[in-house]
Copies of this chain bind each other. A is one copy, B any other.
Amino acid sequence: MSFLGDMELDEVIIRRRDTRHFLPDPIDERVLEGLIKTANLAPSVGQSKPTRYIIVQDPVLRQKIKSNFLVQNEKAKILASGQDKDSDYAKLKLEGILEAPLGLVICCDLSVLKEFSIGTITQPREMLLASTSCAIHTLWLSLTQMGLGMGWVSILDFDELSSSLDLPAEWFPMGYFCIGKPATDYSSMPMLSLENWNSHLEPPIILYK
């Protein structure tokens, strides 16, 4: 199943969006499982493969996660209210937890450190989280190539998220991921740029030593 046909890498990188507006069209979970298998080819430190995937189907669980978001977002609104920005934080739509047809929690299993692993001698937690981040980004690019969107929701109490999902103690959840067909491409720019929150056009900072 491919909506857009195969795209070259640069086009996928340019088109990828953090999607918060979804169409209700259902997506077969086997499609997501196939893309997760590709994401499993992402680099992981010492091939530790610490990434774990939880597909969240239960509407009661999704409602709990939405409530978790709402509480944290109220705190964020207070912090944001003093900011000198051209946009209003409180009006930004920052998730599609209940609308997106697929919901996913992606975790980093820190218990892989119980055995010796290559490359984790000095910064084990950071290197494992980096590995899971690479898997997340691989999934995001693959979804983009298929014409699907993903939104990364991190405005959450992570301990409460773990508890809601009854996760093993050593699985660190990297967030909740909303997946489905995007309802908009935000005029081909990140939504935060469209909403005058942050520019996406600043050049990278490169030093020479």
Interface set of A (CB-CB < 8 Å, partner B): 6-10, 12-14, 16, 18, 33, 36-43, 45-49, 51-58, 61, 72, 75-76, 79-80, 82-83, 89, 92, 94, 109, 115-116, 118-123, 126-127, 129-134, 136-138, 140-142, 145, 152, 154-158, 165-166, 172, 174-175, 190, 192-193, 197-200, 202-209
Contact = CB atoms under 8 A, between A and B. Distances in A.
A166 B207 CA distance: 12
Chain A to chain B: the 7 pairs with minimum beta-carbon distance, closest first: A133-B133, A47-B198, A130-B133, A40-B204, A134-B137, A119-B154, A6-B8
A195 to B, nearest CB: 10
A206 B32 CA distance: 10
Given A52-B204, A133-B133, 14 more contacts: A13-B41, A39-B204, A41-B200, A43-B152, A49-B204, A52-B206, A72-B121, A76-B118, A79-B116, A82-B116, A119-B155, A120-B154, A121-B155, A126-B129
B121 A206 contact: no
A61 B209 contact: yes
Given A7-B9, A209-B56, A47 B122 contact: no
Contacts of A142: 9-10, 13
Contact of A134 (B89, B136, B145): B136
A188 to B, nearest CB: 12
B133 A154 contact: no
Contact of A36 (B16, B72, B154, B206): B206
A12 B9 contact: yes
B10 A7 contact: no
A157 B121 CA distance: 9
